């Protein structure tokens, strides 16, 4: 079967990684899956024309009902959709977008939500037909670069210290855009760093929003203890995560943060902002730590620094949680079965 797969494909983002992984699942079952960026298309008519080209596509798939799914409304082939966090956390609040997403859902053969909570909210706001919405958490697989040098990474990020091995590096992994809110912790962290210079915050991720990136760079350049690292390959990023003291999430909105799950898989503690998408995968004091304010972030970080039993508990439970609930094998089987629905 020849499938068209639409997604937001900004380089080295969670969306791109997820789309690549799902594409590989589909192709491993013998199908052809062509991954295309939604930014290439201006209207549903353009996608409909593409689908009809010879040899024609026989089905389609999209990540994000509004951003990508709306582009499939004119195609004459069956399609499925995968919810993005923005769909449920943001776009559903805008009436015009909500109406479009309802139309997409009605026409789709199936929809996939990453969590039970996302499915329930989709049913509440968009569609009561629960039989059409499947729950499939993201499958996680980490790979650490053997050539990665931690001290070089820190130096290139602007961290200068003679005591690299004594530093407590908190790594905030995110695409640089406002919804990820990397500025949320900057002020409080800098104050904490001034009290204890061994605590540093390194922000790393692709520069998705150029205007916001300039703003972030300006703030970081004049803030003690906070640094901005150049984006790295997935393997190098995983190596940096494995070396850091804790991985941080400060987002306003998340569907399911791959960085959080990857940190758990790598045996690294997670400090995540207490929002619905994060609370769906981080059980406070068990698989990670949640915080609701910058001040609480510092408090939870101090607990993690001083309580070795707490650190060991969240690391062990986090790794077990990913192994049990985010199996790559199970994710592969689910998408291969769902593609059969399109035939």
3-state secondary structure the chain: CEEEEEECCCCCCHHHHHHHHHHHHHHCCCCEEEEEEHHHCCCHHHHHHHHHCCCCCCEEEEECCCCCHHHHCCCCCCEEEECCHHHHHCHHHCHHHHHHHHHHHHHCCEEEECCHHHHHHHHHHCCCCHHHEEECCCCCCCCCCCCCCHHHHHHHCCCCCCCHHHCEEEEEECCCCHHHCCCCCHHHHHHHHHHCCCEEEEEECCCCCHHHHHHHHHHHHCCCCEEEECCCCHHHHHHHHHHCCEEEECCCCCCCCHHHHHHHHHCCCEEEECCHHHHCCCCECCCEEEECCHHHHHHHHHHHHHCHHHHHHHHHHHHHHHHHHCCHHHHHHHHHHHHHHCC
Q: Is 207 found in the same domain as 130?
A: no
Q: According to the model, what pLDDT value does residue 130 have?
A: 65
CATH of the domain at 58: 3.40.50.2000
Distance of CA 58 to the CA centre of its chain: 29
pLDDT digits (tens, 9 = 90+) for 80-124: 999 988 888 888 889 999 999 999 999 999 999 998 888 988 888
Q: Is 63 found in the same domain as 188?
A: no
Question: What's the full length of the chain, in residues?
Answer: 343
Assess whether pLDDT exceeds 90 at residue 264: yes
Q: Is 295 found in the same domain as 272?
A: yes
Q: Is 305 found in the same domain as 294?
A: yes
User: Domain for residue 145, yes or no?
Assistant: no
User: Domain for residue 144, yes or no?
Assistant: no
User: Domain for residue 304, yes or no?
Assistant: yes
Q: Is 294 found in the same domain as 230?
A: yes
Q: According to the model, what pLDDT value does residue 17 have?
A: 85
With a pLDDT cut of 70, the percent of the chain lying above it is 99
User: Domain for residue 222, yes or no?
Assistant: yes
Interatomic CA distance for residues 217 and 212, integer angstroms: 9
Q: Is 281 found in the same domain as 135?
A: no
- In the structure encoding, which two tokens stand for residue 164, read together? 């690299």
Q: According to the model, what pLDDT value does residue 10 have?
A: 77
Q: Is 166 found in the same domain as 266?
A: yes
User: Domain for residue 321, yes or no?
Assistant: yes
pLDDT digits (tens, 9 = 90+) for 149-179: 999 999 999 998 778 889 999 999 999 999 9
Count of domains for the chain: 2
Q: Is 159 found in the same domain as 134?
A: no
Q: Is 126 found in the same domain as 187?
A: no
Assess whether pLDDT exceeds 80 at residue 11: no
User: Domain for residue 114, yes or no?
Assistant: yes
Q: According to the model, what pLDDT value does residue 42 have?
A: 94
pTM of the prediction? 0.85
The average pLDDT across 70-83 equals: 96
Assess whether pLDDT exceeds 80 at residue 14: no
Assess whether pLDDT exceeds 80 at residue 246: yes
Domain range for 276 is 150-325
Contact 65, 104 (CB under 8 A): yes
pLDDT band with cut points at 50, 70 and 90 for residue 34? very high
Q: Is 218 found in the same domain as 337?
A: no
What's the mean per-residue pLDDT of the chain? 94
With a pLDDT cut of 90, the percent of the chain lying above it is 82
Assess whether pLDDT exceeds 80 at residue 273: yes
Helix (H) or strand (E) holding 311: helix 308-325
User: Domain for residue 293, yes or no?
Assistant: yes
Q: Is 190 found in the same domain as 94?
A: no
Q: Is 213 found in the same domain as 175?
A: yes
User: Domain for residue 30, yes or no?
Assistant: yes
The average pLDDT across 292-310 equals: 98
pLDDT digits (tens, 9 = 90+) for 35-66: 999 999 999 999 999 999 989 999 999 999 99
The average pLDDT across 213-235 equals: 95
pLDDT digits (tens, 9 = 90+) for 175-195: 999 999 999 999 999 999 999
Contact 57, 77 (CB under 8 A): yes
């Amino acid at each position: 079967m020849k499938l068209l797969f639409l997604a937001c494909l900004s380089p080295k983002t969670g969306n791109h990684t997820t789309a690549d992984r799902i594409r590989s699942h589909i192709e491993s079952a013998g199908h052809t899956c062509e991954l295309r960026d939604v930014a290439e298309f201006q209207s549903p008519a353009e996608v409909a024309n593409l689908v009809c080209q010879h040899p024609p596509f026989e089905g389609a798939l999209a990540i994000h009902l509004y951003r990508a799914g709306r582009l499939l409304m004119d195609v004459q082939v069956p399609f499925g959709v995968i919810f993005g966090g923005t769909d449920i956390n943001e776009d559903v609040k805008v009436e015009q977008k909500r109406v479009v997403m309802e139309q997409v859902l009605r026409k789709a053969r199936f929809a996939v939500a990453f969590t039970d909570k996302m499915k329930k909210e989709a049913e509440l706001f968009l569609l009561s037909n629960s039989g059409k919405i499947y729950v499939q958490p993201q499958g996680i697989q980490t790979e650490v670069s053997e050539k990665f040098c931690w001290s070089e990474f820190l130096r290139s990020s602007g961290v200068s210290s003679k005591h690299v091995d004594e530093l407590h590096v908190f790594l905030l992994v995110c695409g640089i855009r406002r919804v990820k809110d990397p500025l949320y912790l900057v002020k409080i962290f800098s104050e904490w760093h001034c009290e204890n210079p061994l605590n540093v915050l390194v922000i790393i991720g692709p520069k998705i929003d150029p205007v916001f990136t300039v703003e972030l760079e300006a703030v970081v350049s004049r803030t003690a203890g906070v640094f901005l690292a150049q984006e790295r390959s997935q393997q190098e990023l995983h190596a940096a995560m494995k070396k850091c003291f804790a991985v941080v999430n400060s987002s306003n909105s998340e569907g399911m943060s791959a960085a959080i799950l990857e940190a758990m898989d790598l045996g690294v503690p997670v400090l995540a902002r207490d929002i619905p998408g994060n609370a769906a995968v981080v059980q406070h004091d068990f698989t990670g730590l949640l915080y609701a304010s910058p001040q609480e972030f510092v408090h939870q970080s101090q607990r993690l620094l001083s309580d070795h039993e707490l650190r060991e508990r969240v690391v062990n439970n986090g790794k077990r949680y990913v192994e049990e609930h985010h199996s790559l094998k199970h994710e592969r089987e689910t998408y291969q079965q769902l593609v059969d629905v399109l035939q």
